[in-house]
A and B are shown apart, each in its own frame.
Chain A
Amino acid sequence: MLQKIAPQTLRIIALLAVLVLITLFFTTQIEGFLSGRLFNRISSSVAIMALVATGQTLVILTRNIDLSVGSVVGFVAFAAGSMITNHPDLSPAVLLAYSAALGAGFGLINGLLVAYARVPSIIVTLATMALFRSTLVEFSDGKSITTDNLPAWLTDFPNMVVFALGQMEFRAGFCASVLVVIVAHLAMTKLRAARQLYAVGSNPEAADLAGIDAARVVLVAFVLSGVMAGLAGFMFLARFGNITVVAGMGFELKSVASAVVGGVNIFGGSGSVIGAFLGAILVDLLETGLVRWAVVSEFWREAVLGTLILAAVATDTIISRRLTKARAERAQKEALASRVAK
């Protein structure tokens, strides 16, 4: 029975089960944990992280990593903020396009260095993480963006309620982000071009022999990751309003954590956008729960997050190793049986 379900589907079912278990656990521990407010809080913060995690997933699928996303989120949030402060009557679409384009530009720098100069992505993005952040510090000139200077449409956008189920408010920011995730998921599963990301990630030589331009695929993955980080920067600005030069710091680790917890293989080639989305929710749910859980101090949340990542990856590796072994044994048995039959 279990063998008939695709491993990715199985993984998503397992993630959902873990989500439910953790929610149940905290519900028994914290009075009034399971409420509309919980949903609203988590959905607001996942709205930003889901975008970054989606971009990160695309990059990880190609056997790379993007550690510069946090700096891109920070830079774009600041740049978009100063743009709208200086030109208050700019239309929302232009500002959104500006954010995405800035992100794409940063992604292009990463992608060119990784795909064409062939510098390992961990080195490139480690360096650009520092570089983009110092560009932001120079650009900001020691100033910050404040909510007072932002137009109302921007700051109202993330909290605007699209529809509500009881106390649960589906806010515009969250809905927009979920829409992006769904589109990305459909594209990743249905589009021929998107399948090339998987091909390059699972076996670059084979992909090359099959006529796939691996360098271009990697470049596109980094540009898309930049665009996603740019959109997340826009959302960050809309949600928080007050932006300083430390905006988005730590997002790189959290997005990698979301992807890995969501079942994206760090060696590339397998994983899904929906998985990373659920991973982002899981990470946020745990953080929120631990902050409010009276038994442990809120300072435990990082320690638990680290353990969670290790546990997720360890389980994943052990299980997939077992599955591969079982499949190989079965194939061997079948081959033997068919030979005997002849």
Chain B
Amino acid sequence: MMARLKSWEGLLLATLLVIFTFNAWATPEFLTVGNQINLFQLSIEKIIMALVMTFVIINAEIDLSIGSMMGLAACAFGWMFIQGVPPGLCIVICLAIGLLGGALNGWLITSIGLPSLVVTLGTLIGFRGLARVMVEDRGINDFPDWFDALGQQGLLGPVPFALIAFVVLFVVLYIVLERSSFGRLTYVIGSNKDVAEYAGINTGRHKMVIFMASGLIAAFAGLLFAARVGAVRGDVGNGFELDVITIVLLGGVSIFGGKGTLVGTLLAILIVLNLRNGMGLLDITGHLQTGVIGILLIASVIIPRIRLGRRAEAA
């Protein structure tokens, strides 16, 4: 029990409790159901993508293209909608675009052998470019009512569709990562790819699946964004990759791969959301909030090292 509390998750939980208590004490409207749902809803795309990014980073890779893929899917949806394609079909095609984009990343990384940092930096620019080609500098709105309603209104009581999707996805991915051989392989390949290969594991195929999942979920997030905001522009999802990666690393996932849990990511999500929401309620501007998150990111890497260093000295 004590060991558990002293772990990174324990520290995150304690931090979360402090922020949560402070928010509840400082602003009376914080604890209302409306604000609690709003807190998730405002960043719902990022927190959904953070779940898959956890797999990507545990696998010792990175996907910088998710923000642009979000934009591409959202803009493709808007463009096809204007061309008169039925919305249901648009959604299917957009998700397929996500899979294809992820497959392109995966192919360049596994078959050509390029580093994921460079590949996804290239597709970050490329996907964003394609998104801009589709909508140019227009904004597209006037989506069907049911589509907007799905993004903006509660589906189960006050709980909107996107939040339900987040919870379902978390449960499914938790089971995959903790209880399935695919999850174990994600850790094994992430800690040492060469050893995994010598052990006869098809690391290329594994990475391919993860990158395709990352593209698919990013496209899904783009559609959620279009529904929530009720409009798309060329810059949908711009810069989201940074926030998503910050959340995942803050959750204790190692940038070198092989270490991390989805529970850690969930705690980091809650910390970041509560922090932003609390600062928002206290009228602290968005840019300053981003600065605070930036400091948190660096601290999240340095603090565990100091603790590890002490332990090493004690032993």
**B133, A123: Cβ atoms under 8 Å?**
no
For chain A, residues 280 to 324, give those with C-beta under 8 angstroms from any C-beta of chain B: 297, 299-307, 309-310, 313-314, 317-318, 321
Main secondary structure of the interface of A (DSSP, over half): helix
**B288, A266: Cβ atoms under 8 Å?**
no
Q: How far is the CA of A278 from the CA of B77 in the complex (A)?
A: 38
CB contacts (< 8 Å) of B128 on chain A: these are 302, 306
Tell me the smallest distance from the CB of B27 to a CB of chain A, in Å: 22
Query: For B114, B291, B302, which residue has the most chain A Cβ atoms within 10 angstroms?
Result: B291
Q: Which of B122, B249, B256, B295 contacts A307 (CB 8 A)?
A: B122
The interface size of chain B toward A, counting residues with CB under 8 Å, comes to 42
Q: How far is the CA of A65 from the CA of B291 in the complex (A)?
A: 20
Query: For A120, A127, A128, A266, which residue has the most chain B Cβ atoms within 10 angstroms?
Result: A127
B4 within 8 A of A: no
CB contacts (< 8 Å) of A305 on chain B: these are 125-126, 129
B132 within 8 A of A: yes
A267 within 8 A of B: yes
**A130, B291: Cβ atoms under 8 Å?**
yes
B245 within 8 A of A: yes
Q: How far is the CA of A138 from the CA of B126 in the complex (A)?
A: 32
Q: Which of A119, A245, A299, A317 contacts B129 (CB 8 A)?
A: A299
Q: Which of A135, A137, A253 contacts B121 (CB 8 A)?
A: A253
Q: How far is the CA of A300 from the CA of B131 in the complex (A)?
A: 9
**B291, A134: Cβ atoms under 8 Å?**
yes
A18 within 8 A of B: no
**B285, A126: Cβ atoms under 8 Å?**
no
B301 within 8 A of A: yes
**A117, B117: Cβ atoms under 8 Å?**
no
CB contacts (< 8 Å) of A310 on chain B: these are 108, 114, 118-119, 122-123, 126
B187 within 8 A of A: no
Query: For A123, A133, A138, A266, which residue has the most chain B Cβ atoms within 10 angstroms?
Result: A123
The interface size of chain A toward B, counting residues with CB under 8 Å, comes to 44
One digit per residue, 1 when the CB lies within 8 angstroms of any chain A CB and 0 when it does not, for chain B 185-198 equals: 00000000000000
Given known contacts A299-B133, A300-B129, A314-B108, A131 and B121 CB-to-CB distance under 8 angstroms: no
CB contacts (< 8 Å) of B114 on chain A: these are 310, 313-314, 317
Main secondary structure of the interface of B (DSSP, over half): helix
Given known contacts A126-B245, A313-B114, A303 and B126 CB-to-CB distance under 8 angstroms: yes
Q: How far is the CA of A131 from the CA of B291 in the complex (A)?
A: 4
B242 within 8 A of A: yes
One digit per residue, 1 when the CB lies within 8 angstroms of any chain B CB and 0 when it does not, for chain A 4-40 equals: 0000000000000000000000000000000000000
B47 within 8 A of A: no
Given known contacts A117-B302, A120-B301, A313-B118, A302 and B126 CB-to-CB distance under 8 angstroms: yes
Q: Which of B117, B129, B298 contacts A127 (CB 8 A)?
A: B298
One digit per residue, 1 when the CB lies within 8 angstroms of any chain A CB and 0 when it does not, for chain B 258-298 equals: 00000000000000000000000000010110110111011
CB contacts (< 8 Å) of B256 on chain A: these are 120
CB contacts (< 8 Å) of A223 on chain B: these are none
Q: Which of B118, B125, B255, B297 contacts A302 (CB 8 A)?
A: B125
A122 within 8 A of B: yes
A217 within 8 A of B: no
B127 within 8 A of A: yes
Query: For A122, A260, A267, which residue has the most chain B Cβ atoms within 10 angstroms?
Result: A122
Q: How far is the CA of A204 from the CA of B258 in the complex (A)?
A: 22
One digit per residue, 1 when the CB lies within 8 angstroms of any chain B CB and 0 when it does not, for chain A 239-283 equals: 000000100000001001100100000110000000000000000
CB contacts (< 8 Å) of B205 on chain A: these are none
One digit per residue, 1 when the CB lies within 8 angstroms of any chain B CB and 0 when it does not, for chain A 107-121 equals: 000000100011110
B184 within 8 A of A: no
CB contacts (< 8 Å) of A301 on chain B: these are 129
Q: Which of A120, A260, A307 contacts B118 (CB 8 A)?
A: A260
A197 within 8 A of B: no
CB contacts (< 8 Å) of A138 on chain B: these are 287-288, 291
B115 within 8 A of A: yes
One digit per residue, 1 when the CB lies within 8 angstroms of any chain A CB and 0 when it does not, for chain B 115-156 equals: 101110111111111101100100000000000000000000
CB contacts (< 8 Å) of B133 on chain A: these are 297, 299-300, 303
Q: How far is the CA of A317 from the CA of B121 in the complex (A)?
A: 16
Q: Which of B62, B112, B125, B290 contacts A309 (CB 8 A)?
A: B125
B214 within 8 A of A: no
Q: Can you report 27 residue pairs joining A to B where beta carbons are below 8 Å apart?
A: A119-B301, A120-B256, A126-B242, A127-B294, A127-B295, A127-B298, A129-B242, A130-B293, A134-B288, A137-B285, A253-B125, A257-B121, A297-B133, A297-B136, A299-B136, A301-B129, A302-B128, A302-B132, A303-B130, A304-B129, A305-B126, A306-B125, A306-B129, A309-B121, A310-B122, A313-B114, A314-B112
